[in-house]
Structure 1
């Protein structure tokens, strides 16, 4: 399988992550990508670099105001008196009858949903490269490859059209899905990250050409809390084209894979001609965020289930944090996928 990777991710090394009021270094660290790359390389996969698209792929999903903010935020923030090293907003509008502000501090609050998406000097460069990685993997599939894996960092599935959140800035999964629509009338997105793909859901929520499905830890007890519940099924033209499968905290392989069966059945009913997998590995039993308890064998089995659909597939890296099993779990998914073909 071709693995698309850019080393530009390393210039984004977020230091600000607030957990229960305590500031600490983010768990979304550059070492995540290098471990995944090392494991994929050792397993014999071919590594290729991304093509240079600039902002064009991101602009198919994200608003001009948001892209402009991400581009200039760190540079302009550094000019403010007594500013922190990273852009971290101190307020967020409810968005109810709210007006878009001119001040940078206000724009930060508008475009950054939480305290897990600080913007540093290298964030824009890394996020843009990550979007190019996703677009390149999608183009490989459009050009005839059966599958391609986009080793994206920073991740993307919590990013809305105009809002960052949860370590995510540009929605790589949505960018890949949108790109596949150039050739395919219907595309399915299956998100197996431990966190609900709320940004991806929000982007496609009123559309019928992209089916969005997410298997994740129950948001009643887990990030992103406000989105990802079973009653969220789409709106307008998209009614019925969003499926959330929240799992009890601590669920292990059997429960997770049973949700996978439900997802596969819904995808078959939708009858898409292409598939995007938001490949979070943080459902692992050894992941530091401890939402679910999926084993390496579970990841292998999920890879087989996904491959059984027989669809052209773009796998986009989302979450999965530092543990001894991180690289091994990626190899398990990819080997299961290749076996299931």
Structure 2
């Protein structure tokens, strides 16, 4: 399997992270890349550097004022007397349908859902290369590869069309799906991350050309809290094109695979021409977030079940945080899929 990754993705190195109001080291660390690269190589992947595609593929799913914000907010923030070293919002709008703020502080609150995605001088470049890795993986599949892997870091599935959140800035899975639509009428996104892919759901919630399916820890007491519930089915033309399968905390292999079977049935009914897997490895039993309890062999079983769809597939890296088995979990999945 071809795997796409650029070294610039390591430059984003966030420091701050608030968990239940307490400052903690940010878990979305550059070291994740080294572990994931080792896992991809152990699975036999050929590591390929992506090319720079500009903003075209990114702006196909993200609003221009948001991209302008991401590109320019850091130098603007540094001109504020007494500002933090990283861009972190301290105010959020109750509603987002009114006046667009002119100030850097106001725009940070408008475009950032939480405090887990601080922006530094290197964030924009890293996020773009992350997205371009997804573009090249999609292009490889469009060129005839049955599957391709995008080592996307920072991750993306919590990013909406104009909002960052949950360590995510550009929605790489959405970018890949939109790219696949250039030669397809229907694309499915299957998100198996520990956390609900709320940004991906939001981007496609009113559309019928992309089916979004997410298996995740029940958000009633877990991030992202406000999205990911079973009654969220889409709206307008997209009604019936979104499926959420929330799981009780600590669900293991059998419970996860049972939910996966339901998700795969819905995908088969949609009859897509291509598939994007939003691959979160944080459902692992030893992941620091501790939400679900999938084992390393469970990731192999997961991949084997999805592979039976027989679809051209882009695997986009989402979560999965620093633990001894992070690389092995990726090897288990890609080795079984490829």
> TM tier, shorter chain?
over 0.9
Distance 2:251 2:14 in 1: 30
Q: What residue in structure 2 maps to residue 16 of structure 1? A: 16
Moved more, 72-81 or 241-250: 72-81
- Distance apart, 1:55 and its partner CA: 1.3
- Distance apart, 1:8 and its partner CA: 0.6
Q: What residue in structure 1 maps to residue 300 of structure 2? A: 300
- Distance apart, 1:43 and its partner CA: 3.2
Q: What residue in structure 2 maps to residue 278 of structure 1? A: 278
- Distance apart, 1:247 and its partner CA: 0.2
Partner secondary structure for residue 220 of structure 1: helix
Distance 1:52 1:166 in 2: 25
Q: What residue in structure 2 maps to residue 207 of structure 1? A: 207
Distance 2:257 2:46 in 1: 29
Q: Deviations over 1:207-235 (max 9, x none)?
A: 00000000000000110000000000000
Q: Deviations over 1:296-321 (max 9, x none)?
A: 11100000011000000000000000
Partner secondary structure for residue 290 of structure 2: coil
- Distance apart, 1:42 and its partner CA: 3.0
TM-score w.r.t. the length of structure 1 is 0.98
Q: What residue in structure 2 maps to residue 235 of structure 1? A: 235
Distance 1:302 1:94 in 2: 39
Q: What residue in structure 2 maps to residue 159 of structure 1? A: 159
Matched, 1:316 2:323: no
Q: Deviations over 1:111-132 (max 9, x none)?
A: 0000101101100000011010
- Distance apart, 1:44 and its partner CA: 2.3
Matched, 1:109 2:98: no
Q: What residue in structure 2 maps to residue 71 of structure 1? A: 71
Distance 1:3 1:126 in 2: 17
- Distance apart, 1:328 and its partner CA: 0.3
Distance 2:332 2:76 in 1: 43
Distance 1:89 1:125 in 2: 20
| Matched pairs, number | 338
- Distance apart, 1:3 and its partner CA: 0.6
Q: What residue in structure 2 maps to residue 182 of structure 1? A: 182
Q: How does 1:137-176 map to 2 (within 5 A)?
A: 137-176=137-176
Partner secondary structure for residue 213 of structure 2: strand
| Cα RMSD (Å) | 0.8
Q: What residue in structure 1 maps to residue 61 of structure 2? A: 61
- 1:96/1:109 CA distance change after superposition, 3 Å: closer
Distance 2:9 2:182 in 1: 27
Aligned 8 A contact 2:43 2:334 in 1: no
Q: Deviations over 1:132-190 (max 9, x none)?
A: 00000000001111000000000000000000000000000000000000001000000
Q: What residue in structure 2 maps to residue 222 of structure 1? A: 222
- Distance apart, 1:96 and its partner CA: 5.3
TM-score w.r.t. the length of structure 2 is 0.99
Q: What residue in structure 2 maps to residue 258 of structure 1? A: 258
Aligned 8 A contact 2:58 2:131 in 1: yes
Q: What residue in structure 2 maps to residue 81 of structure 1? A: 81
